[in-house]
Amino acid sequence: MIKVGLIGLGFMGRSHLEIYTRLEGEGFPVKLVAICDKDEEKLKGKFAGGNIDTGSSSIDFSKYRLYTDMDKMLENEELDCVDVALPTYVHAEATIKALDKGFHVLCEKPMALNSEDCARMIEASRRNGKKLMIAQCLRFWPEYEYLKECVDSGRYGKVTGAYFFRGGSTPIWSYRSWLLQEDKSGGCILDQHIHDVDTINWLFGKPAKVSTIAKNVVPGSGYDIVSTNYIYEDGKVINAQDDWTLNGDYGFKMLYRVNFEKGNLIFENGVLTVNPNDGKSFIPELDKEMGYYREIKYFINALNSDGEISVCTPESTMDTIRIAEAEVASAKKNGEPVKVQ
């Protein structure tokens, strides 16, 4: 039985809480025993909204040990792992503290605000012999897993081009508006666009260079609209765009279009369609679970079996941050190509 302590009850923390509750109800060998959030109102059931529906069941907090101080929770609790669902600017600090206490860590995306902090997190994991995984959920999203399998297997030949997009309303729901403070969230590039940056890294590896055009709309928030071309030595045409200023009734959308030598995959409006060049299009049968549920289940399984974290290694997610850093540098140079470190 894996005993978990959850730190942070914002939008994603609430989502993780829902998932642990469900897993326990399904008889999965995991037990959430402690929850920490500095906002006492959240420990009474007041939760933040978000840009995607992840569940809304009522939670009985009386069965958990509750804390408003992370250090006290780490000191007092006998845990197997800590789930860090805090704002980005404290990911590194909280993760390293938990690892140094001897706990495995699942940390929300993005890994950290910069690659230097990512390296510190990895070093702490190695130093303590504890597992570290970053919750880059698209690596566990069925429609993206299917794409990954097609890329790796060469089922439709090599990729010739790809386009990724996500967008929605400005995130005004965060605690003290930390998401709209560039020094705390990294702006749209590090908070939302990072999903597609990570997908591109996962699918194709680090590009040689990136060229990014981006625009600030909300004062102080960093870049709010972004379009990046990823330059690979084999010449495939890869672009990803994000915009978190699509307000009004727009809602939230994520999609991709990937073209292969022998077909293409289109994911939009929640449906994946495969279009082979020499046959009829079809919609593959996929797992209906969201990536949030599947990533947590994967991590807990790895802890129970002492298995390797292979789908989402911290070294790979650090490379994702390096790509994003190059995008920010390119945007500051009005799209001039920048080498990825």
pLDDT digits (tens, 9 = 90+) for 320-332: 999 999 999 999 9
Q: Report residue 49 as tokens.
A: 């909204």
Same domain, 285 and 216: yes
Same domain, 91 and 195: no
Residue 288: is its pLDDT beyond 60? yes
CATH number at residue 178: 3.30.360.10
* pLDDT, position 311: 98
* pLDDT, position 50: 52
pTM: 0.95
Q: Is 20 left (phi over 0), alpha (psi -120 to 50) or beta?
A: alpha
Same domain, 117 and 246: no
CA distance 237 to 322: 20
Residue 47: is its pLDDT beyond 90? no
Same domain, 25 and 47: yes
CA distance 115 to 341: 10
Same domain, 185 and 102: no
The arithmetic mean of pLDDT across residues 198-219, rounded, is 98
* pLDDT, position 45: 82
Q: In what order do the strands lie in the sheet with 263-268?
A: 271-276, 263-268, 253-260, 159-167, 237-243, 225-231, 209-215, 338-339
Q: List pLDDT tens digits, range 118-173.
A: 999 999 999 999 999 999 999 999 999 999 999 999 999 999 999 999 999 999 98
Q: Comparing 275 with 47, which gets the higher pLDDT?
A: 275
For residue 6, the enclosing domain spans 2-135
Q: List pLDDT tens digits, range 225-273.
A: 999 999 999 999 999 999 999 999 999 999 999 999 999 999 999 999 9
* pLDDT, position 135: 98
121-149 as b/e: b if 16+ CB within 10 A = bbebbeebebbbbbbbbbbbbbbbbbbbe
Same domain, 65 and 103: yes
* pLDDT, position 57: 59
Is residue 114 very low, low, confident or very high in pLDDT (cuts 50, 70, 90)? Answer: very high
The arithmetic mean of pLDDT across residues 90-115, rounded, is 98
Same domain, 155 and 284: yes
* pLDDT, position 46: 75
Residue 48: is its pLDDT beyond 70? no
Same domain, 130 and 174: no
What is the number of structural domains in the chain?
2
Same domain, 152 and 122: no
Using N-to-C axis directions, what is the helix angle for 291-305 and 11-25, rounded to 10°?
60
In a domain, 18, yes or no: yes
Q: What is the DSSP letter of 253?
A: E
In a domain, 314, yes or no: no
In a domain, 13, yes or no: yes
CA distance 97 to 84: 11
In a domain, 103, yes or no: yes
Place of tokens 């008889």: 27
* pLDDT, position 58: 77
Q: Comparing 190 with 41, which gets the higher pLDDT?
A: 190
In a domain, 309, yes or no: no
Is residue 54 very low, low, confident or very high in pLDDT (cuts 50, 70, 90)? Answer: very low
Peptide bond into 110 cis (omega under 30): yes
Average pLDDT, the chain: 96
Residue 205: is its pLDDT beyond 50? yes
Same domain, 82 and 10: yes
Same domain, 129 and 180: no
Q: Which of 86, 117, 135 is the last residue of a domain?
A: 135
Q: How many residues does the chain have?
A: 341
In a domain, 303, yes or no: no
Report the percent of the chain where pLDDT is more than 70.
97
Same domain, 25 and 76: yes
